[in-house]
Amino acid sequence: MTFFRPLVLVFLSVLVSACALMPRPEAAAPAPLVIVSIDAFRADFYDRGLTPNLQALADGGARGAMHPSFPSLTFPNHYTLVTGKRPDHHGVVANTMYDATHPADANDPKAAYFTKAKAGDGFWWREATPVWVSAEQAGIPAASVFWPGTQAEIDHTRPAHWLDYDKAATSNDRVDKLLAWMDLPAGQRPKLSLLYLDEVDVVGHKSGPDSPEINAAISEADAAVGRLVAGLKARGIVANVIVVSDHGLTSVSQQRTYFLSDLMGRGDLPADAKADPRYDLIYWGSIALIRPLPGGEVALDTLTKTHLDHMQCYHKADIPARLHFGRNSRVTEIVCIPELGWQVAGLSIDNNVGNHGYDPAYSDMNAIFIANGPGIRPGVVLPIFDNVDVYDAEMSLLHLKPEPNDGTIAPIRPAFQP
């Protein structure tokens, strides 16, 4: 036995060395990932019996409701869905913003102000790394039809395929453009695709969440999803598909509106004034972001100490911690937060009958989540979770390491194939 022991050791050593030299099998490439956003699709719209295509995806996969991040607005929550960061951390704190550190621009005297028309300016998106940037930098081609932020160069990167926003493009136009990119040669074909559908939001603002018009818009969005799924199937593309919304929708009216200039006392302000020199109103509606101007500081400070039946105004440092809002420099010094269904404006407000942006604790703000594909278990209904958790799921499906963020994959993990 003593004689054979060295021979055995030599044999094992040779075997281990040989195994080390053998090529390791490559990890399986991730399935393509398609992320669809239906703007303002409230979670309970799914229960109206108008969405057979969404129901088919959910029945064969997973679904759940999500709390949006505050404020429950379009641009902040679309960036949360692809970064896992709350608006206070990714910097897109509203649909319109102010940042005094924006470089001066001789051609734009309002360079420090963000509007949707400036969505291609990477300055506003640079505080976080979205999923498409990580994908492109890992060699995964990405494509986007109108997803907010994809027009901008972020960390020297854009999706391989992207478009400037065109409000005239129908839902079917958008689906067909995305599918056309799927027909490109294999090396150019997107493996991560993002699609933004906004008809429900557009109609919801004008007609409200309980109108025949919004039911028609819900059906249109569902038909677009069906068109997308059929197009993928016709091309033999087996993809993981995630359908989300950014927030919900609730009813509003001009009669349930606080006007800042009235609350502050109009003084000598003319009845037909278009602006109030005491403040710069950066955003208004379901939330007000207010920059005090010289002469307005005392009145606005007093407003934060004033009891209002359906709204509370805060200095940014005093906003309730549960809203995770107020630390970013782009959050204005004064923030007014109305109750659900109430609004706040300066001197006037549009006659919309639907809005969003409210506290995520209101169920009317709940968003939808549906996932289907080879990486998703069928028949899973998830308990409600925060939308910061979606990003980790996206990165997992792409086999990428997520950037540091505010979410966790734990609430969505039960939907994943083992």
Please give the pLDDT value at position 13.
53
For the record, the structure tokens of 171 come out as 């839902």
Q: What is the pLDDT of residue 66?
A: 99
CATH of the domain at 384: 3.40.720.10
In contact, 405 and 392? CB cutoff 8 Å: yes
Do 94 and 228 fall into the same domain?
yes
In a domain, 328, yes or no: yes
pLDDT at res. 18? 46
Find the radius of gyration of the CA atoms of the chain: 25
Residue 27 lies in a domain: no
Whether residue 21 is contained in a domain is answered as no
Rounded distance between C-alpha atoms, residue 341 and residue 390, angstroms:
28
Note the pLDDT tens digit of each residue in 90-105.
999 999 999 999 999 9
Does one domain contain both 177 and 233? Answer: yes
Q: Provide the residue range defining the domain that includes 340.
A: 254-351
On whether residue 331 sits in a domain, the answer given is yes
Residues 49-65 pLDDT 10s: 999 999 999 999 999 99
Same domain, residue pair 153 and 47: yes
User: Considering 351, 372, 391, which residue would you say is the last residue of a domain?
Assistant: 351
218 found inside a domain = yes
The angle formed by the CA atoms of residues 352, 356 and 359, to the nearest 5 degrees, is 140
Dihedral, CA atoms, 402, 243, 388, 122, nearest 10 degrees? 70
Q: How many CB atoms lie within 10 A of CB 256?
A: 13
Residue 239 sits in the same domain as residue 295: no
- Choose the weakest-confidence range: 242-256, 264-278, 303-317, 350-364: 264-278
Q: Are residues 131 and 214 in the same domain?
A: yes
DSSP 247-296: ---EE--GGGEEEHHHHH--TT--TT-S--TTEEEEE-BSSEEEEE-TT-
Give the model confidence (pLDDT) of 369-397 as tens digits: 999 999 999 999 999 999 999 999 999 99
Do the domain assignments include residue 9?
no
Quick one: pLDDT at residue 17? 47
Q: Is residue 3 part of a domain?
A: no
301-316: b (≥16 Cβ within 10 Å) or e:
eebeeeeeeebbbbeb
Q: Is residue 52 part of a domain?
A: yes
Q: Are residues 334 and 382 in the same domain?
A: no
Co-location of 332 and 405 in the same domain: no
| Cα 391 from Cα 395, distance rounded (Å) | 6
Domain final residue, candidates 351, 379, 397: 351
Q: Domain boundary at 316, 332, 351, which?
A: 351
pLDDT > 70 fraction of the chain, expressed in percent and rounded: 94
Q: Over 80: is that where the pLDDT of 399 sits?
A: yes
| List of E strands, 69-172 | 97-98, 113-114, 142-145
Distances (CA, A) of 12 to 4, 9, 16, 146: 12, 5, 6, 59
294 shares a domain with 239? no
Residue 332 belongs to a domain with what CATH number?
Answer: 3.30.1360.180
Q: Clarify whether residues 41 and 101 are in a common domain.
A: yes
Cα–Cα nearest to 42, from 273, 249, 195: 249
Q: What is the pTM of this model?
A: 0.93
Residues 68 and 183 in one domain: yes
**Both 166 and 41 in a single domain?**
yes
- The Cα 160–Cα 335 span in angstroms is 38
Tally of structural domains, the chain: 2
Same domain as 137, residue 75: yes
Residue 28's pLDDT band, with cuts at 50, 70 and 90, is confident
